[in-house]
């Protein structure tokens, strides 16, 4: 896909970080933008900023874990702009405050992280893919996974599971679309460290899924190290540029940190050699 001018883009998690940078690049490319996000104040502020940058913008308060809200997002997009050509399934929560290993996370932690990171993408694909296919026009769906979806040894079990699942879901979508020669293409974005509010995602946990816990000292230290990685990570605008370059090139896997590919190779080799997982320090 080469030309994004006058295309309609839907971006979930568009009010912060990578999603907001994608929205800004959409505006620069002349696309119309629907920003969907759970955080109302950030959503309103983002919509205003994008409008000031010359964009045509529709903010829609959306919790992606709720299928009815995704359905409403699609209806509002179609009623307002008549079509959708670009879909960025980007909303995500890290859940690093959510217990870490599988048995330390509560059921509510799992429900929240999988509800947003995995079910959010499933609901969105089930709603938007039929609409986009029926248009029979060029289109692109980019799902934001993570390097955590390609490697093993991620500190948060729920996050790792959700992101591996998004990679698998995206690959499955790629095969389905390719088999029917669709004009609609797809890609999976697997960023490494990016300077966003990702580690502050507890701000968006719904009250019904909140968990009271004291953070253990080793968890607090881990979080601090992760925060340093993010603070010194890529600016989100560079990630957005890579995504647009990949869409122009028809590229499926979008990786932002070449130096982290070694971790992917290690995991793949472990599997192919039927060797136990290599214990690597991913930090």
Three-state DSSP at 169 gives helix
Residue 161 CB, shortest distance to ligand NAD, in Å, is: 13
Q: How many angstroms from the chain centroid is the CA of residue 38?
A: 14
- 246 close to 187: Cβ distance less than 8 angstroms: yes
Three-state DSSP at 79 gives helix
Report DSSP state, residue 190.
E
Write the DSSP assignment of 243-274 as a string of letters.
Answer: HHHHHHHT-SEEES-GGGHHHHHHHHHHHHTT
Q: Which of 174, 182, 186 is nearest to 142 (CA)?
A: 186
159 is catalytic: yes
Residue 90 CB, shortest distance to ligand NAD, in Å, is: 5
Residue 143 CB, shortest distance to ligand NAD, in Å, is: 9
State both tokens at 255. Answer: 């990786």
Residue 239 CB, shortest distance to ligand NAD, in Å, is: 8
Nearer to ligand NAD, 2 or 208 (CB): 208
Instruction: Identify the active-site residue in 140, 159, 174, 253.
Output: 159
Nearer to ligand NAD, 81 or 193 (CB): 193
Nearer to ligand NAD, 59 or 92 (CB): 92
Give the interface with ligand NAD as residue ranges (CB under 6 A).
12-13, 15-19, 37-39, 42, 62-65, 90-93, 116, 144, 146, 191, 193-194, 196-198, 201, 204, 230, 233
Nearer to ligand NAD, 91 or 177 (CB): 91
Which residues are designated catalytic?
A: 159
């Amino acid at each position: 896909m080469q030309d994004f001018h006058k295309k309609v883009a839907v971006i979930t998690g568009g009010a912060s970080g990578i999603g907001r940078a994608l929205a800004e690049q959409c505006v620069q490319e002349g696309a119309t933008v629907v920003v969907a996000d759970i955080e109302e104040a950030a959503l309103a502020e983002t919509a205003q900023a994008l409008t000031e940058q010359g964009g045509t913008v529709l903010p829609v308060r959306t919790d992606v874990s709720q299928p009815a809200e995704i359905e409403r997002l699609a209806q509002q997009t179609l009623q307002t702009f008549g079509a959708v050509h670009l879909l960025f399934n980007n909303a995500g929560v890290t859940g690093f405050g959510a217990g870490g290993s599988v048995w330390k996370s509560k059921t509510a932690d799992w429900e929240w992280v999988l509800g947003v990171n995995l079910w959010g993408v499933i609901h969105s694909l089930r709603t938007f893919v039929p609409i986009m296919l029926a248009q029979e026009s060029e289109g692109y769906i980019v799902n934001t996974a993570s390097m955590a979806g390609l490697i093993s040894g991620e500190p948060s079990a729920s996050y790792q599971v959700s992101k591996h699942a998004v990679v698998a879901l995206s690959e499955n979508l790629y095969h389905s679309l390719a088999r029917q020669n669709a004009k609609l293409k797809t890609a999976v974005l697997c960023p490494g460290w990016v300077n966003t509010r990702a580690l502050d995602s507890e701000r968006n946990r719904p009250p019904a899924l909140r968990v009271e816990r004291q953070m253990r000292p080793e968890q607090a230290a881990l979080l601090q190290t992760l925060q340093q990685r993010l603070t010194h990570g890529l600016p989100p605008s560079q990630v957005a540029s890579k995504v647009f370059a990949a869409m122009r090139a028809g590229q499926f896997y979008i990786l932002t940190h070449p130096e982290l590919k070694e971790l992917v190779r290690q995991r793949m080799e472990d599997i192919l050699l039927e060797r136990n997982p290599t214990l690597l320090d991913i930090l």
